[in-house]
Amino acid sequence: MTPDAALEFFRRLAERTPEPRTELEYSTPYQLLVAVVLSAQATDKSVNLATRRLFALAPTPQALIDLGEEKLTECVKTIGLYRAKAKNVFALTKLLIERYAGEVPPDRDALEALPGVGRKTANVVLNSVFRQPVIAVDTHVFRLANRTGLGRGKNVTEVEYALMKNVPDRYLLNAHHWLILHGRYVCTAKKPQCAACCVYDVCDWLEKTN
């Protein structure tokens, strides 16, 4: 995709959704961190159902420690891989209390040092909470970036670096959310909704399908 096409691509997405945000429900940076850890290989809808129960009982790091790992596990058992995720959430919460007085650090290395937190999770938190211009590459973003030509790569790291290079600076802060929403609801995996796509004519996928 050319720079001019990329500029038009994001101009249209921004026009359609001026203030995009994550569909995960949260009230604090800590709650978002927990929700993103739980969201691996799970839908935002299923995570929200679980975190509504969890955050009603334990909205803060100390409250979660007081709740205990067993009850935490019970709260998130409807999510895939829930035992491992609950273990990571409990462990990262203990570390947040020990190292950062229960606050979520605005630093990539510090975040990635927490159990269950990889680069994608760190990027979501850094972008959504601390408003850093980074892009988290999930399955939707990976597919969309390769399909449209915005940022092709064989793995998520390659795609992330390509997007950081190709997304126009003025749109970089919100690019993560626009790409996820477009990939989730329009540029879907099996049956992309090309007829309803607002960026159809600037997408490089046309070159492969014509």
pLDDT attached to residue 209: 54
pLDDT attached to residue 52: 96
Instruction: For residue 68, count other CB atoms closer than 10 A to its CB.
Output: 12
Structural domain for 113, as ranges = 29-128
pLDDT attached to residue 131: 95
pLDDT attached to residue 210: 46
Question: Is 72 part of a structural domain of the chain?
Answer: yes
pLDDT attached to residue 1: 86
Q: Tell me: do 57 and 120 sit in the same domain.
A: yes
Which residue in this structure is represented by tokens 């159809």? 200
Cα 37 to Cα 30, 77, 154, 188, 191: the distances in Å are 11, 14, 24, 23, 28
Of residues 204 and 173, which shows the higher confidence score?
A: 173
pLDDT attached to residue 56: 97
Q: Among 104, 128, 152, give the residue marking a domain's end.
A: 128
Q: Tell me: do 142 and 106 sit in the same domain.
A: no
Model pLDDT for residues 59-116, shown as the tens digit of each residue:
999 999 999 999 999 999 999 899 999 999 999 999 999 999 999 999 999 999 999 9
Catalytic residue ranges: 120, 138
Model pLDDT for residues 138-174, shown as the tens digit of each residue:
999 999 999 999 999 999 999 999 999 999 999 999 9
* Percent over 90 (pLDDT), the chain: 92
Q: Tell me: do 124 and 54 sit in the same domain.
A: yes
- Pair 126, 108: CB distance under 8 Å: yes
Q: Tell me: do 108 and 174 sit in the same domain.
A: no
Phi, psi (deg, nearest 5) at residue 101: 55, 35
Which residue in this structure is represented by tokens 């509504």? 52
Count the helices and strands in the chain (H runs, E runs): 12, 0
Q: Among 98, 113, 128, give the residue marking a domain's end.
A: 128
d(CA 103, CA 25): 18
Average pLDDT of the chain, as a whole number: 94
**pLDDT of 205 above 90:** no
Q: Tell me: do 63 and 121 sit in the same domain.
A: yes
**Average pLDDT rounded to a whole number, residues 24-31:** 97
Which residue in this structure is represented by tokens 């969309």? 144
Question: Is 24 part of a structural domain of the chain?
Answer: no
Domain count, the chain: 2
Question: Is 10 part of a structural domain of the chain?
Answer: yes
- Pair 12, 199: CB distance under 8 Å: yes
Give the type of residue at 32: L
Indicate the pLDDT class of residue 204, thresholds 50, 70 and 90: confident
